[in-house]
Amino acid sequence: MSSPLYVSEMFSSIQGEGMLAGRRQIFIRLTECNLDCSYCDTAFERCDTCRMETGPGFNAFDSIPQPLALSAVLEKCATWIEQLPNAHHSISLTGGEPLLSSNMLKEWLPELRHKLPIHLETNGTMHLALETVVQHLDYISMDMKLPSTSGCTDNLWGLHRLFLKTAQGTDVSVKLVVGNESTRDEILEACDIITSVDRNIPLFLQPVTLAGGTVGITAVALLRLQGIASARLPNVMVIPQMHKLLGVA
């Protein structure tokens, strides 16, 4: 019997960030996070109920008692896949920080992976937890937290380096949330970490979204940062949060 998990919400939508942007996914958002980024727009506290979409893309939700059993999640995935054949590319585990639940995910991921490929969205700081589940993952979208935009005062570069090494062998990419305050040194540090593992790992620069939905970086500053990164890496792309532009979850 698999252990239950605390899930903030489960829904079907378009991936708006990184290498799978534009793909339809089933999102399973887990609760709790080990960081507190200033730009985070997600409520990740553990709660007594999960917001479960009533149908894929319906944008209507039921409240389901927590924690959720794996059987209930598998049944929902199977129903949505049947209702929309070939529409869903993968299952996205997001948060919060999903790897805080790595002990349970060791049980969940092999079963979920029978339904669709698994995409992990992570803040890239928990390499030991990743080691326990990496064999069950197909895609990893890893954040590197820039002090200029995240507000994280701890030096996370060492953790990011260890995490990216552990992620080798999966289809991994790196995302940097950048703003007007982001510096050349920050970009170069991220590039150095990527180069130390595999310089062909894609790097995505994502303009920070401020309160009220405004973008917190000018076009000139964004292009300057893209130029700095491109001098070091062959695969540097700029993608805003597409789901916010589309008005979807």
* C-alpha angle 105-95-190 in degrees, rounded to nearest 5: 100
State the Cα–Cα distance between residues 166 and 130, nearest whole angstrom: 7
Q: Any known ligand binding at 15?
A: yes
Per-residue DSSP letter, 56? T
Q: Any known ligand binding at 16?
A: yes
Q: Any known ligand binding at 41?
A: yes
State the Cα–Cα distance between residues 157 and 143, nearest whole angstrom: 11
State the Cα–Cα distance between residues 109 and 2, nearest whole angstrom: 11
| Surface-to-core class of residue 114, CB atoms within 10 Å of its CB (0-12 exposed, 13-18 middle, 19+ buried) | exposed
Q: Any known ligand binding at 14?
A: yes
Q: Any known ligand binding at 33?
A: yes
Q: Any known ligand binding at 37?
A: yes
Residues in the chain, overall count: 249
User: What pairs with residue 92 in β-bridges?
Assistant: 27, 119
Q: What single string gives the DSSP state of each residue in 66-122?
A: SSBPHHHHHHHHHHHHHHSTTT--EEEEESS-GGGGHHHHHHHHHHHHTTS-EEEEE
Q: Any known ligand binding at 40?
A: yes
Q: Are 235 and 19 in contact (CB under 8 A)?
A: no
Q: Any known ligand binding at 152?
A: no
Q: Which parts are annotated binding residues for [4Fe-4S] cluster?
A: 33, 37, 40
| Binding site members | 14-16, 29, 33, 37, 39-42, 94, 96
* Residue numbers belonging to the annotated binding site for substrate: 14-16, 29, 94
- In the annotated binding site for S-adenosyl-L-methionine, the residues are 39-41, 96
The annotation places the binding site for Mg(2+) at 42
